[in-house]
Homo-oligomer: A and B are copies of this chain.
Amino acid sequence: MRKLDNYRGIVGDDVISGTYRKARKLYGKHFLQINSTYYGGGVAEILDSLVPLMNNVGIEADWRIIRGSPDLFTITKKFHNALQGNSINLSDIKKQLYVGANEAFSTYCQIEQDCVIVHDPQPLPLIRFYRKRQPWVWRCHIDLTDPNQKLWEFIKGFILKYDMVIFSSEKYKKEDLPVEQRVIVPAIDPLSLKNKELSEKDIFKYVKKAGIPTDKPVITQVSRMDPWKDPEGLLEIFKRVKEKVDCRLVYCYDMALDDPEGTAIYSKVYRKANKLRERGDVVFVVGKNQILVNAIQKFSTVVVQNSIREGFCLAVTEALWKGKPMVATNVGGIPIQIRDGEEGFMVEPHKKEEFADRIIEILKNPSLAKEMGDKGKERVRKHFLITRLLSDYLDLLNDILK
């Protein structure tokens, strides 16, 4: 069970006592978070740490997940992609299924708490089915810079009922939304299996077990197999790097079994990497096990993120926390985390040559790598740990319940 005191050694006494102070005004308040899944994805990971910590500091925090059929989640995945700019066929049947699932759930989800926080689009319409007796906050984890307009208009109809919206970046704020908007940057838990300290022995054990040879520098991307993460482009980047520096590339990927797009792109990259794979220069590892991901990040020489579009990108935060220099694209929340030339290098999307040059620069310069890695870790410690997120939520609750 997570306890705030366990973070004292990492973030220092002042952060801990400041957090307790903020929580005191909220004693006895009840507070509900609703999202769409207990497992899988960044939101579930954050809530897994945040909710128990809230309870630990004395708030009555509750966590529920909406009941959704596979159909609902197919639709909301399309919504997610369209809110990030894809096109969508916004049919009446999709709308009905989406709203209907929320209405059905509302009949067996009694809400008596003092404040409700709803995450992402899946449970967004819930608010329509309650007599509102408390502040409701919509917490959006999606990049909303360029949403499909038709879908945005539809979604907005629900958002307008909320008292506040939280985005992950200033860039996502919407001018056409007459609701209070606030930015809370996501965070990682330094004590989770994915981020906790590991012994050198354990790191080697996991890396070897995953079939990654340990004789050369390793470049790693941890991401879903998804067009937004451009794994195909990364392979070309790697080929350029490989001409100059002998090294390996690890795709530490995660893939939903029912994701046809992911399966297709995986097969394509896997086939294209055929020869490199056979020589062990490119390794594909399923990152299902959190400690394994942790070990691979810790073992890597450079961690990269070749995304075309991103939310905040917690994979970057995790790598920085492990003291790794990064080369990443200048999209979504990545530039909030990496300052070009400080914690790593920023490259515009699709600039493969530059991306490769930056990796080479780090590989050839271990002292630069070390310096960047140290800066990255320190930056995460200050800004992107779960303790800061907890503190932001306490501020929000204090403000909204005032």
Q: A residues engaging B (CB < 8 A)?
A: 1, 30, 38-39, 51-52, 55, 60-65, 67-70, 103-104, 107-110, 112, 257
Contacts and interface: CB of A to CB of B under 8 A. Distances in A.
Contact of A52 (B52, B55, B61, B104): B104
A112 B104 CA distance: 22
Given A39-B69, A69-B39, A55 B108 contact: yes
Contact of A107 (B52, B70, B108, B110): B52
A55 B104 CA distance: 11
Q: Would you list the 4 A-B pairs with minimal beta carbon distance, nearest first?
A: A63-B108, A38-B67, A51-B108, A55-B107
A63 B63 CA distance: 13
Given A67-B38, A104-B52, A257-B257, A109 B1 contact: no
Contacts of A1: 103-104, 107
A62 B108 contact: yes
Contact of A108 (B61, B70, B112, B257): B61
A269 B139 CA distance: 50
9 contacts: A1-B107, A38-B68, A39-B67, A51-B107, A52-B108, A55-B108, A63-B67, A65-B65, A112-B112
Nearest to A55: B107
A257 B112 CA distance: 38
Contact of A110 (B38, B60, B67): B60
Nearest to A33: B108
A77 B70 CA distance: 23
Contacts of A107: 1, 51-52, 55
Contacts of A64: 64
A30 B110 contact: yes
Contact of A62 (B39, B60, B69, B110): B110
Nearest to A63: B108
A237 to B, nearest CB: 34
